[in-house]
Structure 1
């Protein structure tokens, strides 16, 4: 058995029981779990052979920090730029075209809904990204947790070790019910449209169907469509295949609208229906301003530190790694930053400010000096890139019943946040030696993981 260090005590206990019990015991619990059809199709092949365990107290404390960080993020335009959102967007590395789209239909106060992705470095959680907006995905993973608890061997383990979890789908259903109230047209429950961008159902349809399935278990009727499928009635209410929609659960990103020549124009129907109170749009595109990695970088930039009090600076220092927005080609500010990044190659990663899934990312410690220098040149030329200090995640042991080996894995924990606070978690995991980026879009070996808290 490969030696795995820095494992949590509960993970060691779980692996030891897997080794003792064989595939018919705890080791095969994930393989034996009975999953609903859409979730089975979307995720079965991508599940890690065991769940992930996190401390309940530590998770609760991190969630409180995330709420404080959200408040700091949405205060930035007023706090740093006298309320000028265009100046804020430029400082965060958001280009003019995207800024115009993000600003359409917003109220100035985005919904507190999203997923914070973090590593645990063996001491504390460090935030990598704060993905705000309804398009973040992952609310269906609570289905897996519920199903795993119906496997007797895991149910016994969960009872003995007092495992718990927050049902993300239940929290989401509560949010949708609350937000849809002003636009309800019929019964007590809203009809929700889960709407993708044009041609978006093809690549994301399986995940969308799993979301529909999870929401159906909560009593919420969700219909799938693309932006071009939605119509507007004479009274201003949106419909999908003739069915009135009380709420649109936005699954399309602003970048998809920009990539579609007709996207911004088609999206106007959603903004008008929302403004008229006929169909609620959840969430507004303005969430994208604050999920920008460049917005996080503003919080750690010493040029702005005087704008935060001691408690706020302590919060930022506690949860955020060092981050800076790189100057775009021909731009000004942050003199010497690119040279500093060249020197700190082994400690830095370059990410597009508005990117996702690890796409178009450059990992300094996986590059040679020449390759890293070229990556910095590309980032400056493209604009909108953030340099972030490396966070080394704590490895955990995973027993693989297919090979009979125990290997070290790392996980990016995704913590969900709503107006009511912490709303559950899931994780994505890679082998510890499988590369720096933990994400399905950029690493096909990434596995999805259910998350349970322990006392």
Structure 2
């Protein structure tokens, strides 16, 4: 039996009511990623599954971040254009690039009977859910869960601690120095996140970072430093996304930070080039058989396990299961097995699920996307997981968010939906989430 089977059997035999677990956890979840709600139990991973996933995601990161050198001869700008970035974004990325690709990210996945399969790779400091371990701690306050975790030797990684370590490492903060970090978002989205950002800033304080949330237009560049009021800023934690660069006046708004970073007067965590590796267009390049000779055997094996068939929406033939076929004809004939996604938007914006779309609408959207920054991806059919209720059980479809940090896998944000045929699983649009414990 799996850990999940063991837990469900024990919960049915002697466990508390699901509502008691939810009531105990909810007070700890205000002003967090969880929006005050959670599922009725944790999820669990056995050691061999955890180990394989960690190895595969490490190899996936390696393959993604070497695409510019392996496919474009080191030309970052050409890579950016190929994956669908507008010229304004290309210039911002080239100016705001880091000395090396960041390790910070979150791989969003479904899990079927064969294992984990990637939906998208979110790279950089804009990934949500790094406060997820507040729920691990809240769940462990319940004796039944604490006893099960202890009896099975389970553990979890404190994501916020790992993120702090990643910031200090990648921003090259000298040992023993306590940096001042501005957590900066665009002015239009900052008010919505402000409460959560202040709570996250408080969590970073005991980890050696003085974090100050602010809108990016509150930052000034003078005397060869970035300032927030009278505080000198050592690190700008970037919450604004690559699509924000296209907003009117955005480039001018970011100019002080970009200038300071170019001159070495501030570190950006994470640099804007991180957004490139999180583009769905980058996944399409990894999935394309035309470039398989660019990767070593271990990376290819990981890609074959974890990455579903993904292609840029381009007119002409593509390879599907070893055969060449016209992409538009294939997409029209296989609508119920495909998803249409914009390459550089976040949070499920613009995603079209073929099996939930009428044929004429699908055809029209496909025509609009043709030769534009969109990808097609093969549908994954996840196996739902069972969760206790007060009077029985219910099934939830889970999206597993595995958070990447400087030294590997740094925790999980696991979100659930009861749309079991597939859905865009997003906390801001009503999803409910849980935490993960794993065998070490």
Deviation at 1:194, TM superposition (A): 0.7
- Per the normalisation by structure 2, the TM-score is 0.91
Query: Would you say 1:189 and 2:178 are equivalent positions?
Result: yes
The equivalent residue for 1:164 is 155
SS, match of residue 210 in structure 1? helix
* 1:14 is the counterpart of 2:7: yes
Partners of 1:60 and 1:422 within 8 A in 2: no
- Aligned with 1:126: secondary structure? strand
The structural deviation recorded for 1:41 is 3.3
Deviations 1:26-70 (A, max 9, x none): 76224213755xx42343533112211122321222122212121
Within a 5 Å distance, the mapping from 1:435-454 to structure 2 comes to 435-441=422-428, 443-444=429-430, 446-454=431-439
Identify the match of residue 352 of structure 1 among 312, 337, 342: 342
Q: Tell me, what secondary structure is at the counterpart of 2:31?
A: helix
Deviations 1:193-224 (A, max 9, x none): 11101222122223323322322353432111
Q: Establish whether residue 394 from structure 1 lines up as the match of residue 383 from structure 2.
A: yes
2:197 paired with 1:218: no
Deviations 1:74-101 (A, max 9, x none): 2212211222333323332333332222
Residue 127 of structure 1: aligned partner: 118
Shift of residue 434, structure 1, vs aligned partner = 6.9
Cα RMSD after superposing both structures? 2.4
- The answer to whether structure 1 residue 230 and structure 2 residue 219 are counterparts is yes
Counterpart of 2:237 in structure 1 is 249
Query: 2:327 matched to 1:337?
Result: yes
Q: Give the CA deviation at 1:373.
A: 1.3
How far residue 175 of structure 1 moved from its aligned partner, in angstroms, is 1.9
CA distance in structure 2 between the partners assigned to 1:368 and 1:15 by the alignment: 39
- SS of residue matched to 1:46: coil
Q: Partner residue of 2:322? A: none
For the 8 Å contact 1:183–1:280, the answer to whether it is kept is no
Q: CA 1:276/1:104 → structure 2, altered by over 3 Å: closer, same or farther? A: closer
1:3 aligns with none
Structure 2 partner of 1:4: none
Structure 1: 5+ residue stretches without partners: 1-7
Contact 1:183 1:278 in 2 (8 A): no
Q: Which stretch of the first structure deviates more once superposed, 339-348 or 144-153?
A: 144-153
8 A contact 1:140–1:210 mirrored in 2: no
SS at match of 2:67: helix
2:142 maps to which of 123, 128, 151: 151
Q: 1:183 to 1:104 in 2, by over 3 A?
A: farther
Within the candidate set 23, 26, 29, 1:31 is matched to 23
Query: Alignment partner of 1:136: what SS?
Result: coil
Q: Secondary structure at the match of 2:427?
A: coil
> Bigger CA drift: 304-313 or 49-58?
304-313
Partner residue, 1:278: 265
Query: Structure 1 residues 163, 31: closer, same or farther in 2, change over 3 A?
Result: farther
Tell me what 1:326 maps to. Answer: 313
Q: Give the unaligned 5+ runs of structure 2.
A: 319-324
Relative to structure 1, is the Cα distance of residues 238 and 295 closer, same or farther in structure 2, using a 3 angstrom cutoff? same
Equivalent residue for 1:367? 357
Structure 2 residue matching 1:134: 3-state secondary structure? coil
Cα 1:225–1:12, aligned 2, differ >3 Å: closer, same or farther? same
Name the CA distance, whole Å, in 2 between partners of 1:203 and 1:435.
Answer: 28
Normalising by structure 1, what TM-score?
A: 0.88
Asked if the contact 1:183/1:246 (under 8 Å) is kept, the reply is no
1:97-133 CA distance string (max 9 Å, x none): 3222222221463211111111111221111111111
User: 1:316 aligns to what?
Assistant: 303
Report the equivalent of 1:99: 90
Task: Measure how far apart 1:322 and its partner are.
Answer: 0.4
1:231 and 1:239 in contact (8 A); partners too? yes
Number of the residue aligned with 2:251:
264
Deviations 1:331-388 (A, max 9, x none): 777572121111111111111111211111110111232222122123227x211100
* CA–CA separation in structure 1 for the residues paired with 2:304 and 2:150: 37
Provide, for residues 293-347 of structure 1, a one-character-per-residue CA deviation record: whole Å limited to 9, x for no partner: 11011111122223334443222211100000002xxx77757212111111111
Distance 1:333 1:239, change over 3 A: farther
CA drift at 1:432? 4.6
The change in CA–CA distance for 1:312 and 1:17 in structure 2 (over 3 A counts) is closer
For residue 47 of structure 2, the aligned residue among 56, 61, 76 is 56
Are the equivalent residues in 1 in contact too, given 2:106–2:127 (CA < 8 A)? yes
Contact kept in structure 1, 2:164 and 2:209, CA below 8 Å: yes
Following superposition of structure 1 onto structure 2, how do residues 285-324 of structure 1 map, counting pairs within 5 Å?
A: 285-324=272-311
